[in-house]
Structure 1
Amino acid sequence: MSGGEPEGERLQKVLAAAGVASRRVVEQYIVAGRIRVNGRVADELGTRIHPETDRVEVDGVPIQLDTAKRYLMLNKPKGVVSTMSDENGRPDLSRYAEQAGERVYNVGRLDAETTGLLVLTNDGELAHVLAHPSFGVEKTYLATVRGVVKPDALRRLRQGVELDDGPIAADRARVVGEPSGGRTIVEVTLHSGRNRIVRRMLAEVGHPVIELVRRQFGPLHLGSLGAGRMRDLTKVEVGSLLALARDAAEPDAKNARRKP
């Protein structure tokens, strides 16, 4: 193919289109060796890539080159079911998909009475990896429960309890603040995505849940996002999800890259 057009697109053009920075700034990144393409440093200004297949990282953070992909964080309110259409007419997620202006879907579920962090996206591949139980994305909840939670109850949560659908253990469990009014706030972190799992675990150790909110999903933190509010994820947040999905889906490839 000598004499034809060079294959691919200029790296700085693609990254500028992806919203990383201006072409001039991206060129500075290239010269500084801050960009990797398919795991190799790309420090030549003439570098060309194929956006559909090549993987690009800036400072170790994967970049989504497909500008049609959307990633949103929703603070799901109480009473909203985690589906885009509810046959019983309950409030669902369709209103938030309409706000997004895209055909987005929820990654995993929160039960109707649980509030907090829910990811909406039109990236089906990423959604599958993040929601699939076998990949075990870490989730952190704050639960307001009845009673004063003692160290023994926390120990049971961490060591594991037996439920109707099998044993389950929290990765971490701790009391947040001082118990008040016969209630305690407990922070529980676990990988499981089983239905109503946090509520069932706490009930099993004698502390039924009064209120439950998911504060963290993988590398994402709910922060100060208000109930019913939604925002686009930042470039760094998207990159952290892409990295998580990549490493979860390709453990063999990851291990192979580490070998000399």
Structure 2
Amino acid sequence: MRLQKFMAKSGVASRRKSEKIILEGKVEVNGKIIKELGYKINVNKDIIKVNGKKIEMEKEKKYIIINKPVGYVTTVSDQFNRKTVMDLIPNINLRLYPVGRLDYDTSGLLLLTNDGDLAYKLTHPSHEINKTYIAKVKGIPSKDELNKFRNGLNIENYLTSKAEIEILNKNNNSSILKIVIHEGKNRQVRKMCDKINHPIIKLKRICIGDIKLGDLKEGEYRDLNSKEINYFKKYSKD
């Protein structure tokens, strides 16, 4: 088995993140530091350590969604000692990690799992899973601005894919928008709203594909049911 795949199945991180950890020289196989991506190991014989700690494959697969509040980072740990989403699941002893991310200032639906293969494939660019947000923005977008948003915007040397946007509510100085994208670039929704001159005041993700946040309260989490797990797994088939 390839080293990064073993790490993902052990709940260390997603396969892509595991590759980064390998390149950083933090992984040992039988006492030897390995920096080679694709290095093959014997699952039954080799001893693998990450940052000096032995790892083993997780036998129990866990899938949860959490309603992330504002003020939490979407990482397992944080160098600045900020609160992370892991602080919200202290009673789970398995090594879970987030699939994708939500910004520090964004709340809403986040998937966590120890299924590295699923995490890798769900975040791969080839899988276009819709992500739905509710955004409060400054001002009220015009028809022209809405159409520009829908057709793709030039942001930092890339053109965003076509997106959905509709106005749900209007106030004097702000409006509530429903936004659907299927990309996952850093702070993309915020940058897109900035581009049409309607900066975000508040942003919340309410759906990933068909999986809905529903009435889950901020800071709380729940296990995915079998139907929801199978929904995500259909994306992970090769």
**Does TM, scored on the shorter chain, surpass 0.5?**
yes
Q: Which has the higher helix share?
A: 1
Do structure 1's residue 185 and structure 2's residue 176 form an aligned pair?
Answer: yes
Letter in 1 for 2:208: F
Do structure 1's residue 227 and structure 2's residue 218 form an aligned pair?
Answer: yes
Q: Is this contact kept in 1: 2:63–2:111, CA < 8 A?
A: yes
1:186-208, CA deviations, whole angstroms, 9 ceiling, x for partnerless residues?
Answer: 11111111000000001100100
- Equivalent residue runs for 1:197-216 within 5 Å: 197-216=188-207
Do structure 1's residue 133 and structure 2's residue 125 form an aligned pair?
Answer: yes
Q: TM-score, normalised by structure 1?
A: 0.67
Separation in structure 2 between the aligned mates of residue 180 and residue 226 of structure 1, nearest angstrom: 26
Letter in 2 for 1:153: E
1:21-49, CA deviations, whole angstroms, 9 ceiling, x for partnerless residues?
Answer: xxxxxxxxxxxxxxxxxxxxxxxxxxxxx
Letter in 2 for 1:171: A
Q: Is this contact kept in 2: 1:97–1:104, CA < 8 A?
A: no
- Equivalent residue runs for 1:141-220 within 5 Å: 141-176=133-168, 178-220=169-211
* Aligned sequence identity (%): 36
- Equivalent residue runs for 1:1-260 within 5 Å: 68-176=60-168, 178-246=169-237, 250=238
Letter in 2 for 1:108: G
Mark the runs of 5 or more structure 2 residues left unpaired by the alignment. 1-57
Q: Greater shift after overlay, 91-100 or 229-238?
A: 91-100
SS in 2 for 1:201: helix
SS in 2 for 1:81: coil
Q: Is this contact kept in 1: 2:67–2:217, CA < 8 A?
A: yes
Shift of 1:244: 2.6
Separation in structure 2 between the aligned mates of residue 239 and residue 67 of structure 1, nearest angstrom: 18
Shift of 1:171: 2.6
Separation in structure 2 between the aligned mates of residue 121 and residue 182 of structure 1, nearest angstrom: 40
Letter in 2 for 1:226: K
Separation in structure 1 between the aligned mates of residue 205 and residue 236 of structure 2, nearest angstrom: 20
Q: Is this contact kept in 1: 2:152–2:163, CA < 8 A?
A: no
Shift of 1:132: 2.1
1:128-150, CA deviations, whole angstroms, 9 ceiling, x for partnerless residues?
Answer: 11122332221111110000122
- Distance of aligned partners of 1:170 and 1:224 in 2 relative to their CA distance in 1, 3 Å threshold: farther
Query: Please, what is the CA RMSD of the aligned residues?
Result: 1.5
Shift of 1:181: 3.6
Q: Which has the higher contact order (CA 8 A, sep 6+)?
A: 2
- Distance of aligned partners of 1:245 and 1:76 in 2 relative to their CA distance in 1, 3 Å threshold: same
Q: Is this contact kept in 2: 1:170–1:189, CA < 8 A?
A: no
Aligned length: 181
Shift of 1:169: 3.3
Q: Is this contact kept in 2: 1:71–1:120, CA < 8 A?
A: yes
Corresponding residue for residue 20 of structure 1: none
Corresponding residue for residue 42 of structure 2: none
Q: TM-score, normalised by structure 2?
A: 0.72
Separation in structure 1 between the aligned mates of residue 92 and residue 163 of structure 2, nearest angstrom: 34
Mark the runs of 5 or more structure 1 residues left unpaired by the alignment. 1-65, 251-260
